[in-house]
Amino acid sequence: MKKEVFLGIIVFIAVVLNCNNGRADEFTKKDLKKWHKEFMTVVKEGERLFHSALGKNKVSCDMCHPNAANTHPETYPKFQKQIGKVVALRDMINWCIQNPLEGEPLKLDDPKMIALEAYITYERRGKPLSPGRH
Amino acid sequence: MKKKISRRSFVKKGLGAMALASLPLGLVEISWGKNNPQNFTFAYISDSHLTHIKGTEFVRNFDKGLKKAVMECNFMSPRPDFVVYGGDLAQLGKREELEHGLEIMSALRHPVKWVIGEHDFYLDLGKFWEDKISKTTYSFDHKGVHFVVLNSILTYDSWMKKWKTPQERMSNMARLDNPNGSPFMVGERQIKWLKKDLANVSKDTPIVVMSHSPLYKIFKPWNFWTDDAEKVQAVLSPFKKVTVLHGHVHQILYNQIGNITFEAMMSTAWPWPYPVSYTQKPNQVPKLTVFMNRADPFHERDATGWSILNLENGRVTNHYKLWENKDRVLRYDEKLGAPVDTLYQDPAKRIPPQEHY
């Protein structure tokens, strides 16, 4: 009996401790630093992809968009007149991979796609959102 | 005796007449006789970035740009006195790329003056270029105008020594937004040569300098920049009429600094954004420039093209031949003492696609 009570207390403490760890509003400066580091690792990977041949013809994104300039991530989703409907930035990333880069489109949840988006939006940090702007 | 017109000659002459009729009026040159300097026309093709994939394969899009410019130059009437190639014929300085470029350029029916770009240079340090194509620093006189060609894409020795292989050096210089890049420069040796070259030229002789990079400072992170530009400008400052024509920036760009007019040439391959559209770092983009239209990537020749330049009384009138847009014309305004766009210089006349952000 004593053994069961003891075990019960252990489980209770473990559950409580676990709950405490999961509290969303309690994070430290150390956490912030860690999360930013995680994010910047993906930005760095995006920068690498942006400067490498993602298609079949050795052309890379940065050749037309140094520092991802002229990609205007803050304006998406927007009506893309050449496609005839409202599209997201990732649709345009795939359009560029398929056309000027002559490659295969990425899956929309491909880590490479997330990395490219991270780099493109990071280079545009500080700009106010302007969805729909042409 | 009446000459019989065959069907073939009729079609031939008819096509010729049609081609002539479709040329813009700006091409018609008026001859002023024996004035000095004389008026004349030349053409400028630049920044083709021919890219070798493998074997005999090259990037189709960029080949198409250069071929189109060559074909249109061949149709020019009156004929240009010469054509300038403004540098960056190759993408990674490879022999395959330069030879491929020479083959396409060999279809030109006009003599060519060559300017070297960084993409032609940093693999073999200009060896192939100087052996098979042209000198990199030279001058010539043409109808009363003194032309100077400079190699403006040199850089610091310390940077040159940083790389293990020529390929590594080339690819680091080829990346425009490279944080490990190095600014372009003309260098003391060429500046000394320039002083000597200009020593016997009278101060009222119009001077046209052709370099790959702009001989002024616009945006260092993309090397829209020549580090010793002020020193070159100082050598040019005593002359009454000086125009610097450059490539590298792949966009309509013009400026006036003191007595010197600067005008950029289009690329035949792809356009580059204006530095104003990269908001993380400050820029010195000239306020005088009315921007080209924002490029439409769905039209692959949009925001690319070439130029027809008319030398009129020692000043350049620049006809930007834009393949997917209305042509733009820059003319030197004697009253303002600067080049102006003949249609859009007035802010009230500008159009929404010219806004870059």
Q: What is the pLDDT of residue B305?
A: 98
Q: Which residue has the higher pLDDT, A18 or A120?
A: A120
Q: Is residue A37 part of a domain?
A: yes
Averaged confidence pLDDT in chain B:
93
Residue A97 lies inside a defined structural domain of this protein: yes
Contact A58 B51 (CB under 8 A): yes
Task: Using the predicted structure, report yes or no on whether residue B314 has a pLDDT greater than 70.
Answer: yes
For B113-131, the pLDDT digits (tens) are 999 999 999 999 999 999 9
Q: Is B273 on the interface with A (CB under 8 A)?
A: yes
CB contact under 8 A, B177 and A58: no
Residues of B in contact with A130 (CB under 8 A): none
pLDDT of residue A3: 72
Residue A5 inside a domain? The answer is no
| Cβ contact A58–B279 (<8 Å) | no
For residue range B288-312, list pLDDT tens digits in order: 999 999 999 999 999 999 999 999 9
According to the model, what pLDDT value does residue B7 have?
59
User: What's the pLDDT at B28?
Assistant: 45
- Is the pLDDT at B1 greater than 50? The verdict is no
CB B278 within 8 A of CB A69: yes
Residue B180 sits at the chain A interface (C-beta within 8 Å): no
C-beta contacts of B229-238 below 8 A and 24+ residues apart: B229/B186, B231/B186, B231/B191, B232/B150, B232/B186, B232/B191, B232/B194, B233/B257, B233/B258, B233/B260, B235/B191, B235/B194, B235/B195, B235/B198, B236/B198, B236/B207, B236/B209, B236/B260, B238/B203
pLDDT (mean) for B262-285: 98
Q: DSSP readout, chain A? A: -HHHHHHHHHHHHHHHHHHHHT-TT---HHHHHHHHHHHHHHHHHHHHHHTS--SSSS--GGGTSGGGTT--GGG-SEEETTTTEEE-HHHHHHHHHHTTT--PPPPTT-HHHHHHHHHHHHTTTTPPP-TT--
Residue B233 in contact with residue B271, Cβ under 8 Å? no
Residue B357 with chain A: CB contacts under 8 Å: 72
Q: Are the C-beta atoms of B316 and B263 separated by less than 8 Å?
A: yes
Are B294 and A99 in contact (CB < 8 Å)? no
Name every chain B residue with its beta carbon within 8 A of the beta carbon of A66: 176-177, 222, 272-273, 278
pLDDT of A13 reads 62
Check CB contact of B280 with chain A, cutoff 8 Å. Answer: yes
The structural domains of chain B, ordered by start, are 39-354 (3.60.21.10)
- Grade residue A89 by pLDDT with cuts at 50, 70 and 90: very high
Instruction: Name which of A110, A108, A127, A119 is nearest A41 in CA terms.
Output: A119
The reply to whether residue B51 touches residue A59, judged by beta carbons under 8 angstroms, is: yes
Mean pLDDT of A39-66: 98
Nearest to B240 by CA among B270, B205, B268: B205
**Nearest Cβ partner for A67 among B51, B278, B357:** B278
Q: Residues B157-204: pLDDT tens digits? A: 999 999 999 999 999 999 999 999 999 999 999 999 999 999 999 999
**Minimal Cβ distance to B278: which of A51, A59, A69:** A69
The verdict on A15 touching B (C-beta cutoff 8 Å) is no
Whether the per-residue pLDDT at B18 is higher than 90: the answer is no
**Cβ-defined contact of A96 to B280 (cutoff 8 Å):** no
Q: Is there a cis peptide before residue B238, judged by omega within 30 degrees of 0? A: no
Inside any domain, residue A14: no
Q: DSSP letter string over B220-274?
A: GGGTB-BTTHHHHHHHHTTSSSEEEEE-SS-S--EEEETTEEEEEPPPSS-----
Backbone angles phi and psi of B40, in degrees to 5:
-160, 175
Chain B residue with minimal CA distance to A97? B297
pLDDT cut 90: percent of chain B above it? 90
For chain B, what percent of residues have pLDDT higher than 70?
90
Q: Would A67 be classed as within a structural domain?
A: yes
Least confident window among A1-5, B131-135, B238-242, B301-305: A1-5
Taking the Cβ of residue B27 and every Cβ of chain A, the question of whether any pair is shorter than 8 Å is answered with no
User: What local confidence, expressed as pLDDT, does residue B86 receive?
Assistant: 98
Q: What is the pTM for the complete model shown?
A: 0.88
Strands A78-80 and A85-87: antiparallel
* Residue of A67, A124, A125 with shortest CB distance to B177: A67
Tokens for A58, please give them: 């050795």
Query: Using CA atoms, how far apart are residues B245 and A58, in angstroms rounded to an integer?
Result: 30
Q: What is the domain extent for residue A50?
A: 32-122
Is the minimum CB–CB distance between B175 and chain A shorter than 8 Å? yes
Q: Is residue A106 a part of any domain in this protein? A: yes
Q: Measuring CA to CA, how many Å separate B228 from each of B116, B218, B263? A: 18, 13, 18
Q: State the residue for tokens 């009363």.
A: B144
Position B19 pLDDT exceeds 80:
no
Find out whether the peptide bond into B275 is cis, omega within 30 degrees of 0: no
pLDDT for res B2: 46
CATH of the domain at A94: 1.10.760.10
Average pLDDT over residues B256-278: 98
Binary contact (B294, A70; C-beta < 8 A): yes
Query: Is residue A129 assigned to a domain?
Result: no
Q: Which of B175, B272, B273 sits opposite A51 (nearest CB)?
A: B175
- For residue A32, the model assigns a pLDDT of 97
pLDDT score for B30: 44
The region of weakest confidence among A11-25, A82-96, B31-45, B53-67 is A11-25
Show the tokens assigned to B9.
Answer: 């000659």
The total number of structural domains in chain A stands at 1
